[in-house]
Structure 1
Amino acid sequence: MGKLTREDKYLSPATQFCDYMKNTQQRTPKGLVFIQEWGSLRHSANIAFICLNLAELGVKSAEYREFAKEQIHYALGAGARSYVVGYGENPPQRPRHRASSCPPRPSPCKRQNGLYNPGPNYYTLYGALVGGPGSQDDYVDDRDDYVRNEVAIDYNAGFQGALAALQKLKINMQLP
């Protein structure tokens, strides 16, 4: 509604939200905005997307863009590893995703050679954002840890939206 009407009754609560997330919300030692263990990167990417939308409307534009860039850079690898399958430095190789962890046909997908295979997934699920680290930036690439290694559409939605917004703004996406 804020985009459509530009009315303060919509922009003000969104601004308060972004200010809180940027300035007050718990963060990991490496700077990820941390809401909860399950899908921590999903939350930070969605927050980045919301704040980028506000920045597009002229609300604290430089501040919110920089904040969003920090959050997206973390996911891409600024925190010492990438959390995007098939991208960057030390990306996840064992996301919890049945189709990518099963062997090629005609081999059957059974417990021992599918989700419970300790090796990397048979297929690279390029671009999938895994759940992410814990509150201390702790992460193990283990598909049995579904809290941190699950991939889902809602994990990627805000992430892809934030990437598109940063690209549209031509904000440098090179990692430090």
Structure 2
Amino acid sequence: PFFKEQTKNWLDTWVEGRGSVKYTSGGFAHRAQWASVPLNMSTAFAAEWYNDNVEENSKYSDFAHKQVDYVLGDNPANFSYVVGFGDNYAQRTHHRGSADTAPMDDSDRPNDHLLYGAVVGGPGKVDDFSHNDRRNDWVTNEVGTGYNAPFASAAIQQYENLGGDPLSESQLDQLIGVDANGTGF
């Protein structure tokens, strides 16, 4: 009972926007300047997991669904925090390998290589338009495996709960031009 109550209190803090959690006008639950999307997605995952496995409560499931949608671009900026998803996403991530020959302080030129599926840090403040797609902004535009894991977990839960149609093999082959047969790399 103790840990269940602690978990509910923590989730309610996020769902209700209490304490250090504030909502943007577009509905993003924001808690920290740095890595706001990974923190948000960790909580979305926990909220949906709690709803599915401990105690069903639609406010947790609704929260998770809305936050994942926001991160994928259903927000006032129409900006996807997942590189390569949708029409408007970060193209100047703070990532040396992706930037390649683009200088880290050259923030106008897109990176030489897109990190398809990488998740950027997110809004730097409680403002739907505070994300900065600039290579030299490691606070809002940095990527990393620790940023992707929470998003992947939350997205998988949404797929399990809401369904969807998986891409065919031929559709997958067309996505980023990777030769699945192991030749032509």
Give the TM-score of the pair, scaled to structure 2.
Answer: 0.79
Which moved further from structure 2: 52-61 or 121-130?
Answer: 52-61
Cα deviation, residue 114, structure 1: 3.4
**In structure 2, distance between residues paired with 1:85 and 1:141:** 11
* Count of matched residue pairs: 157
**In structure 2, distance between residues paired with 1:131 and 1:171:** 27
**In structure 1, distance between residues paired with 2:133 and 2:70:** 16
Cα deviation, residue 164, structure 1: 0.7
Structure 2 equivalent of residue 136 of structure 1: 127
> Is the aligned partner of 1:87 residue 2:76?
no
CA RMSD of aligned residues (A): 1.7
Aligned 8 A contact 1:96 1:144 in 2: yes
Give the TM-score of the pair, scaled to structure 1.
Answer: 0.83
**In structure 2, distance between residues paired with 1:15 and 1:57:** 13
> Is the aligned partner of 1:13 residue 2:11?
no
Aligned 8 A contact 1:49 1:162 in 2: yes
Aligned 8 A contact 2:15 2:59 in 1: no
> Is the aligned partner of 1:74 residue 2:64?
no
SS in 1 for 2:92: coil
Where does the alignment leave 5 or more consecutive residues of structure 2 unmatched? 165-185
Cα deviation, residue 62, structure 1: 2.1
SS in 2 for 1:94: coil
Structure 2 equivalent of residue 63 of structure 1: 59
- Return structure 1 stretches of 4+ with deviation > 6 angstroms: none
**In structure 1, distance between residues paired with 2:49 and 2:109:** 40
**In structure 1, distance between residues paired with 2:155 and 2:137:** 26
Aligned 8 A contact 1:82 1:91 in 2: yes
SS in 2 for 1:135: coil
**In structure 2, distance between residues paired with 1:128 and 1:59:** 32
**In structure 2, distance between residues paired with 1:16 and 1:125:** 36
Q: Which of 123, 134, 142 matches 2:113?
A: 123
Relative contact order higher in (CA < 8 Å, ≥ 6 apart): 1
Cα deviation, residue 58, structure 1: 4.3
**In structure 1, distance between residues paired with 2:150 and 2:67:** 12
Once the two structures are aligned, what percentage of the paired residues are identical? 31
